[in-house]
Amino acid sequence: MTAAVSPDWRRTVVVIPTLNEAPNIPELVARVKQAAPDADMMIVDDQSEDGTAEAARQAFADHPGSRVVSRTGPRGLGRAYAEGFRLALEAGYSEVVQMDADLSHDPAALPTLISGLERADLVIGSRYCPGGGVEGWAAHRLALSKFANLYARIATGMGIGDITAGYRAWRASALRSLRLDTVESAGYSIQVELAVRAHCAGLKVIEVPIVFTDRRRGQSKMNLGVLAESFVMPWRLRAYVARMKKETTWRPS
């Protein structure tokens, strides 16, 4: 794909990172298509061993604008998003949505997220705001998620209710301004890092409520390395915020 692609006919792309999500692919693709028929999909797969990439190629047989990106090199959610976003911007899309593949993010919320871009640069699908929520999680899982969220919010000083959320819509112009080539997060902390960068860049960030449901198929990819990065990164980002505040380009939102 080239930068010459007209946004008039290829406006929105939904970027979906995958690691061993094959059983979720057919339902995911069908439900995204139903909810956002004009959007393309980009599955960014990290050498899944369970045939995810093949399943996605098959599911995209009727979706000429959608594509599978098969990554090589070290795996990581942050790395996958950095690459997917770069390719989306290169392809000339004007709106970029990010979502998980395991159907925890209900595709039916896509129109709400996308239409939120009429009034914001970044729309976060929030579990932790009035009207939002989580279904199917045991109490300890919910407590861990809320703790991670509070920890990241306090460390970075951001007033975002769900700063670790992974269901988001971006104006491409906003994403382009964040210098994705300098993103540090390899894993899940990409969500916090990009929210902080968006805030520091003076972008308008809003939250819309979503109900997150526990994955029904496949396994969580959370591991110790990912958790360790999520503990350290907010403090690195705190230093980033302090640096940005000193620069003349600082425009608090």
Ligand X SMILES: Nc1nc2c(ncn2[C@@H]2O[C@H](COP(=O)(O)OP(=O)(O)OP(=O)(O)O)[C@@H](O)[C@H]2O)c(=O)[nH]1
Residues found near Mg ion in the complex (CB under 5 A): 100, 102, 104, 215
Which residues here bind ligand X, judged by CB under 6 A? 17-19, 21, 44-46, 75-77, 80, 100-102, 104, 215, 220-222
Nearer residue to Mg ion within complex by CB, 35 or 134: 134
The residue of the chain with the least Cβ separation from ligand X equals: 220
Question: CB of 155: closest distance to Mg ion in angstroms?
Answer: 23
DSSP helix/strand/coil, 81? helix
Question: CB of 250: closest distance to ligand X in angstroms?
Answer: 32
* Angle at 205 (CA atoms; ends 81, 161), nearest 5 degrees: 90
Question: CB of 129: closest distance to Mg ion in angstroms?
Answer: 20
Residue from 22, 31, 85, 88 nearest 56 by CA = 22
By a kind-dependent CB cut-off of 5 to 8 A, residue 229 interacts, out of ligand X, Mg ion, none, with: none
Which 8-state DSSP code applies to residue 163? T
Q: Are 193 and 237 in contact (CB under 8 A)?
A: yes
Nearer residue to Mg ion within complex by CB, 41 or 155: 41
Question: CB of 100: closest distance to Mg ion in angstroms?
Answer: 5
The DSSP H or E segment spanning 28 is helix 25-35
Q: Is the dihedral of CA 67, 72, 77, 78 positive or negative?
A: negative
Nearer residue to ligand X within complex by CB, 127 or 201: 127
CA count, 13 A, side-chain hemisphere, 69: 24
Nearer residue to Mg ion within complex by CB, 101 or 196: 101
The rounded distance, in Å, linking the Cα atoms of 205 and 199 is 7
DSSP helix/strand/coil, 16? strand
Question: CB of 59: closest distance to ligand X in angstroms?
Answer: 15
The rounded distance, in Å, linking the Cα atoms of 33 and 218 is 22
Question: CB of 166: closest distance to Mg ion in angstroms?
Answer: 8
By a kind-dependent CB cut-off of 5 to 8 A, residue 207 interacts, out of Mg ion, ligand X, none, with: none
Q: Are 101 and 178 in contact (CB under 8 A)?
A: no
Nearer residue to Mg ion within complex by CB, 89 or 152: 152
Nearer residue to ligand X within complex by CB, 57 or 215: 215
The rounded distance, in Å, linking the Cα atoms of 12 and 88 is 9
Nearer residue to ligand X within complex by CB, 53 or 201: 53
Question: CB of 241: closest distance to ligand X in angstroms?
Answer: 24
The rounded distance, in Å, linking the Cα atoms of 68 and 196 is 29
